[in-house]
Structure 1
Amino acid sequence: MEERTAAFHLITDPEGLRETARALAGAQRVGLDVEATGLSPLDARMRLLQLSTGEETFVVDAFRVGDLSPLSDVLEGGPLKVLHNAKFDYKFLHAQHGLRISPLFDTMLAAQLLDGGEQGPSYSLEAVAERYLEETVDKTARREDWSGKLSREQLEYAARDATILLPLQERLQSLLHREGLGPVSRIEFGAVAAIAEMELSGIKLDVERWRELGKTVRQRRDEVARRLAAHFPEPEGVLPLEGLEPRLNLNSPQQIMEAFRSIGIELPDTRMWTLMTVDHPAARDLLDYRELQKKLGTYLETYEDFIHPKTGRIHASFLQCRVPTGRLACTNPNVQQIPHEEEFRRCFVAEEGNVLVIADYSQIELRILAEVSGDEGFVEAFRRGEDLHRVTAATMFGVPKDEVTAEQRSAAKRINFGLAYGRGPRSLAAQLGTDEERARELIDEYFATYGRVQRYLNETANRALREGTLRTLSGRLRRFGRTRGLSNAERGALKREAMNYPIQGTSADIAKLALIYIHSELRNLDARLINCIHDEFVVECPALRAEEVASRVRSAMVRAGERLLKRVPVEVEVAVSREWRK
């Protein structure tokens, strides 16, 4: 394979930087890359900024030049900036030089969109360049020390990274256009700035409150463990000795199955759905124990370790295109999966003098289902501003809307959401606490009410099997790989995923549009996005600005929803609190 080499201009003083700015001013596209002494701008320093027009490449030594503001017109407007994993470069330029890159094209995100949710083996620059350009990118120098005197090899490596981005962008742009992915790619590229700045902002955890909650949950877990053990007889010939571990390992499926066998219950496995069908308090206690243990091990015993010593805040990492639906994923730690109970969420707080503006879409996925199915009953319920779950329950159970019980509404709610996720009778039966036959009856009653919803879901599943692809309302593509010769179980799983993909994927599209619009609305305010939980957004701002910020956030979110939903109204609920709760 061909290996690209690069000549470059090394910029080490302010005058050279001004000349660079003049040389770049008339360019249509600029390849942009950053080299740093580490991975996080909170701990490391940006060393080099590489900029290439294809004809000329400039390598700016940020240590020696210092002030990069002469490049602001080029970086914050002007030519299209082409980057690979743009969030990384954006964070360094924004955190350490106050610059916001715009407009931009991210070759990593473009490659992920083209793969349609079928994740490739790697999305590193060298892997993407090899796949799409058949060129080799030597990354050996990446592991070297970038904090001291730089070698010629390091500088050439840095220059090559910027230079290769332009032909790579040209190739990827052509493929995005061919595949009809232009609109969704613009959404993804536009959301980079909001996500990067959200990561830099971080979220504050009330450590003392978190520790107290940990003690409380640990006590609950231990009490449930004692209650659970009491359901099972003592093994013959074994005396309980003080100081020894519990005789039953609650994390061992084999021991759990043997314990249930001792009270006459045969378990095929110890999975959640199996235990939910067992009508015995021991099964409910085991589920409670597992939930409490997960809350301890996943959240309460680990999140404090992620607080950054310089900022006193948690700076999670959001991943844009790692999930087939396009939803954001989150890691280190996952602040999208905090338990919903108020006792957990209220531990995440605003700084002194600030408040949190918490905004989320009202039933956005059901509104999308109404939009894409065109079911008049669904659409009209939203247009009239009615409680969809109550309307559904009244029709299914044959009672007036004002006589619907809380239990009936809850069942309708579970079915509304469950069917949107492609769930079948068994799954719904476990959720509703009933048998499969009754769950099947409820599903039949539901589809008798919303016939076009049923047709849409079936047609969507069949199209995925027939064509192997589906799209969201923005055109986001999902490739399903092999769809022929599947087993019944594989076909069922694919059909369930297919039913939900256009709904959840369109929800992801709307959320990313909302990120773009919220970021724009807050640009000149003392307010910052600090978390995004799918269709919920958390903004921190001074208490005196809360009303204005809340209004702007709501307006931005409604505008994002209306970009894709034309028949169904979009509603956003907003709350203001010192803590993350409504």
Structure 2
Amino acid sequence: MQRSPVSISGDQNKKSPPSTEWQRVLSKRLETYAGSPTCMEAYRRRGIREKTIQELGLSIFPKRSTITVENTKIRLPAGLAVPNWRVNDLWGVIVRQFSGKTPHCNIKGSARVSYHVTRLERVEAPVVIVESALDAAVLYQEAGDLIHAVALCSVTIKPDGYLKTLLGYATQVIVCLDYDAAGKEAYGWWREYYPDSVQAFTPFGKDVGEYHLAGHSVRGWIKDLLDNVSRGERVPARPKPEHQVYLASDPDNLQAVIEHFHGLGSPVGAALKTDSTDDGATHDPRGAKARLLALSAGGCSVVVDLEKVSSSTIEGIQRLPLVVYDGLEFSETCRFLGFNPGAVDCLTSQFSTISGEKWGLEKLSQFRLGYGPSLHHADFEQPHMGESEKGAAALEAYTCEEIHALQMEKINRMNLGGAYRLTLEAMPAISDIRVHGLPVDVPKAEALAEELHKRVEVSKEPLPQDDSEALRWVSRLLEHRSPHTGRIHPRVNVNGTVTGRITFQEPNLQGIPRDHRVRELIAAPEGYVLVGADYGQIDLRVAAQVAQDEALNNAFDKGVDIHAYTAAVVFGTDIDTVTPEQRDQAKGANYEIVYGGESKLLKQAQSRLKRAFPALFAWLENQKSKVHTAFSIKTPAGRTIHRELGAGGWVNKLYNYPIQAGSAEVMLAALAKLPQHLSGLEAFLVHCIHDKLILEVTQEQADQARVALEKAMTEGFLDRFPDGPTTGLVEATTGANWADLK
């Protein structure tokens, strides 16, 4: 392990390292986890190789803990632990936390000094100053033979005596702080006190780490920087979009634009800008007025003033292969303009498919392209455009076009095309939920609220838990009603969970309790009914498919009550003699198998269950055996779920996540099939709850909608698991309200 970057004589540093005991205890803790599989995986995700980890003594604190040094308790947060060695003293430990308000922190007792790493044995060399110790580690790995890498660990920290001495010997000083407002502002101090220093930013991404992770050559960038500085040339600025922007303000002009883009045959970036009158509670898209539509392809952007063209005029963009940042939001707004854009390519879904995360457009643009729309929209403004928002719209459309090409190349290279299309094709049906909204029986809701309030007034006591929960939900349903429609238009999140399930916000409609008083409030208006269907034991069916358990699949194929079947195995009885109590206990055991659990019954019946479902339990044991070696999980569709470092429960997630993700993918496939089966019917999706879909349909077409829903959901399951048994898979029912649906 490298402990002394270089020896600096005449060190002006007047600070002292921590006590010998502090160094001993922290060194021991660092050595405990250094080189562990979790440590190696954590740094690998940041592009830091094993040799670098070993040379710099990089370690990890896998979970939060507390140590005691000289009667002082010291909290160790979960995160990447970077030791700051100078000669043979441990001056501090810098932690890149897995979670928390501040990404970086110094362990209590650490000296507030800079972090310095290099492969050079001489001090007379260029110095590159960055913010993060991990960025310095990347510089050491990629260009440590060319420079001294120094991390300040915060833009507010000024050079300590050691760094001042090093800078005195430096042949060049390059200040490369993070590409954000704080990083730009902080360079003012360096320009004042080190006037010969040069400010530089990575061409892409926020910092050196992001630039490296995006696949760019850090070494090549450093060499170019050094060459430019040595020749006295200006450091190249970040790339800026070079684009022509035009304004389409009349129908004929717009039609010509659409024909032009259609003729290109390439993806067209798109952005919609609205004036929202959203009151902050209902989130009804009808409260937003679309003002600008920007389209970008083939070297130019066109901004359409929607106040000057009719909705029928812009329907032609349906023919264009559009690329947008948020597909759901774009689709919803377009539908209120009078046309349905269908399934449009979506940057958020692409990035989520690749990484499992959702980034804002600004961050994604900096990471992929090297600039962010909010920082550079002025570069797009044209004299004839007038308002800067038009330039911003044009740049967003251009950004979508450019990022799409980069991300689709990566999706294809990673063989994730199927997983991405699965999400994309489900978008039109999902947007129905927000566009049409969930119907609420307002008079009944108000009456229930009044009744529950009166109970409190009369009894002078708090309501029982069930009544309190019911009142809370009645209030939320009424609060989130749209003033335009009287319905609830929630925010919908595709891939809202790590396993890919759909979630809702404002309100969280999946959290509505099973209380029939509350579910009765979700009621179809006069002349309409609700049609609902859910998958029967979908997680167990997916488990049977993933594990290829013949016995479990055969039981489903024969239409056997799977919980009664398990009860017969557990209690050693015939399936016909299983009691309701035994079935309920076995049902709990079944879900413990899938979700993780160690009830007394499951432990007692373990050997019997293994004999009954050998392939399932063999798969479970194989997944559990990977707890110390596997740091990611593949879903049935091929998407990767990475282990959340610092979080617990990984052993259960190893088998639960593939099953839950498989169920989520089945639902997405069903949603993709739904529009074609509902074609010609006055029916639309109003809710999606894990394994259940609810439609609103005219009374006359209820039977047709019920058949269509069953077909779409069955085809969705077979789309993901072609050999899966479908007996008893889906059964749709009809009712006046949600409580009536089975």
**Bin of the TM-score, shorter chain as denominator length:** 0.7 to 0.9
Q: TM-score, normalised by structure 2?
A: 0.62
Q: Which has the higher contact order (CA 8 A, sep 6+)?
A: 1
Distance between the aligned counterparts of 2:377 and 2:370, measured in 1?
Answer: 20
Residue among 403, 420, 434 paired with 1:185: 420
Q: 1:175 to 1:421 in 2, by over 3 A?
A: same
- Paired position in structure 1 for 2:269: 31
- Paired position in structure 1 for 2:301: 57
Q: Is the 8 A contact 1:393 1:409 kept in 2?
A: yes
- Paired position in structure 2 for 1:2: 239
1:460 aligned partner, one-letter code: Q
- Paired position in structure 2 for 1:392: 566
Distance between the aligned counterparts of 1:221 and 1:387, measured in 2?
Answer: 44
Distance between the aligned counterparts of 1:391 and 1:438, measured in 2?
Answer: 15
Distance between the aligned counterparts of 1:141 and 1:85, measured in 2?
Answer: 19
Q: Kindly report which structure 2 residues correspond to 1:439-458, keeping only aligned pairs within 5 A, or say none.
A: 439-458=602-621
Residue among 251, 254, 258 paired with 1:21: 258
- Paired position in structure 2 for 1:155: 390
Residues 1:293 and 2:486 are matched in the alignment: no
1:464 Cα deviation after fit:
5.8
1:19 aligned partner, one-letter code: A
1:94 aligned partner, one-letter code: R
- Paired position in structure 1 for 2:192: none
Distance between the aligned counterparts of 1:497 and 1:522, measured in 2?
Answer: 36
Distance between the aligned counterparts of 1:80 and 1:140, measured in 2?
Answer: 26
1:473 Cα deviation after fit:
1.6
Distance between the aligned counterparts of 2:605 and 2:546, measured in 1?
Answer: 23
Residue among 334, 338, 344 paired with 1:93: 334
Q: Is the 8 A contact 2:268 2:296 kept in 1?
A: yes
Q: Deviations over 1:191-248 (max 9, x none)?
A: 222222221100111123224444666688999xx9xxxxxxxxxxxxxxxx8xx8xx
Q: 1:20 to 1:185 in 2, by over 3 A?
A: same
Distance between the aligned counterparts of 2:352 and 2:313, measured in 1?
Answer: 34
Q: Deviations over 1:532-567 (max 9, x none)?
A: 111111111110011111111111111110011233
Distance between the aligned counterparts of 1:412 and 1:450, measured in 2?
Answer: 14
Distance between the aligned counterparts of 2:627 and 2:414, measured in 1?
Answer: 17
1:334 Cα deviation after fit:
1.3
1:343 Cα deviation after fit:
2.5
Q: 1:221 to 1:379 in 2, by over 3 A?
A: farther
Distance between the aligned counterparts of 1:59 and 1:413, measured in 2?
Answer: 58
Q: Deviations over 1:268-318 (max 9, x none)?
A: xxxxxxxxxxxxxxxxxxxx9555534433x12222111111101111111
Q: Is the 8 A contact 1:184 1:475 kept in 2?
A: yes
1:152 Cα deviation after fit:
3.7
Distance between the aligned counterparts of 2:471 and 2:326, measured in 1?
Answer: 33
2:517 aligned partner, one-letter code: E
- Paired position in structure 1 for 2:290: 46
Q: Is the 8 A contact 1:35 1:46 kept in 2?
A: yes
1:364 Cα deviation after fit:
1.2
Residues 1:313 and 2:551 are matched in the alignment: no
Q: Is the 8 A contact 1:378 1:450 kept in 2?
A: yes
Q: Deviations over 1:235-271 (max 9, x none)?
A: xxxxxxxx8xx8xxx9xxxxxxxxxxxxxxxxxxxxx
Q: Kindly report which structure 2 residues correspond to 1:333-352, keeping only aligned pairs within 5 A, or say none.
A: 333-352=507-526
Q: 1:190 to 1:566 in 2, by over 3 A?
A: closer
1:139 Cα deviation after fit:
6.1
1:420 Cα deviation after fit:
0.8
Q: Deviations over 1:341-369 (max 9, x none)?
A: 33321211111101111111111111111
Deviates most, 515-524 or 323-332: 515-524
Count of matched residue positions in the alignment of Structure 1 and Structure 2: 489
Q: Kindly report which structure 2 residues correspond to 1:393-472, keeping only aligned pairs within 5 A, or say none.
A: 393-422=567-596, 424-425=597-598, 428=599, 437-463=600-626, 465-472=628-635
1:76 aligned partner, one-letter code: Q
Q: Is the 8 A contact 2:623 2:654 kept in 1?
A: yes
Q: Percent identity?
A: 26
- Paired position in structure 2 for 1:539: 695
Deviates most, 464-473 or 152-161: 464-473
1:99 aligned partner, one-letter code: F
1:17 Cα deviation after fit:
1.2
Gapped regions of structure 2 (runs ≥ 5): 1-237, 279-283, 379-383
Tell me the SS of whatever aligns to 1:498: helix
Q: Kindly report which structure 2 residues correspond to 1:185-224, keeping only aligned pairs within 5 A, or say none.
A: 185-214=420-449
Q: Deviations over 1:114-148 (max 9, x none)?
A: 223xx46xx21111111122222226989xxxxxx
Tell me the SS of whatever aligns to 1:138: helix
Tell me the SS of whatever aligns to 2:695: strand
Q: Deviations over 1:90-116 (max 9, x none)?
A: 1111112x2222442101111122223
- Paired position in structure 2 for 1:11: 248
Q: Is the 8 A contact 2:243 2:300 kept in 1?
A: no
Residues 1:72 and 2:315 are matched in the alignment: yes
Tell me the SS of whatever aligns to 1:539: strand
Q: Is the 8 A contact 1:54 1:163 kept in 2?
A: no
Tell me the SS of whatever aligns to 1:315: coil
Q: 1:468 to 1:24 in 2, by over 3 A?
A: same
- Paired position in structure 2 for 1:502: 658
- Paired position in structure 1 for 2:399: 164
1:36 aligned partner, one-letter code: T
Residue among 509, 514, 518 paired with 2:674: 518
More helix by share: 1
Tell me the SS of whatever aligns to 1:541: strand
Q: 1:141 to 1:577 in 2, by over 3 A?
A: farther
Q: 1:7 to 1:504 in 2, by over 3 A?
A: same
Q: Is the 8 A contact 1:2 1:136 kept in 2?
A: no
Q: Is the 8 A contact 1:206 1:347 kept in 2?
A: yes
1:159 Cα deviation after fit:
0.8
Q: Is the 8 A contact 2:354 2:639 kept in 1?
A: no
Q: Is the 8 A contact 1:114 1:176 kept in 2?
A: yes
Q: Is the 8 A contact 1:221 1:293 kept in 2?
A: no
1:445 Cα deviation after fit:
3.8
Bigger radius of gyration: 2
Q: Is the 8 A contact 1:54 1:166 kept in 2?
A: no
Q: 1:114 to 1:219 in 2, by over 3 A?
A: farther
Q: Kindly report which structure 2 residues correspond to 1:353-368, keeping only aligned pairs within 5 A, or say none.
A: 353-368=527-542
Residues 1:478 and 2:641 are matched in the alignment: yes
Distance between the aligned counterparts of 2:548 and 2:713, measured in 1?
Answer: 23
Q: 1:465 to 1:561 in 2, by over 3 A?
A: farther
Residue among 158, 176, 193 paired with 2:411: 176
Q: Is the 8 A contact 2:274 2:288 kept in 1?
A: yes
Q: 1:217 to 1:471 in 2, by over 3 A?
A: farther
1:126 aligned partner, one-letter code: E
Tell me the SS of whatever aligns to 2:633: strand
Q: Deviations over 1:400-444 (max 9, x none)?
A: 11110000000111111222112x21xx4xxxxxxxx44521445
Distance between the aligned counterparts of 2:263 and 2:665, measured in 1?
Answer: 33
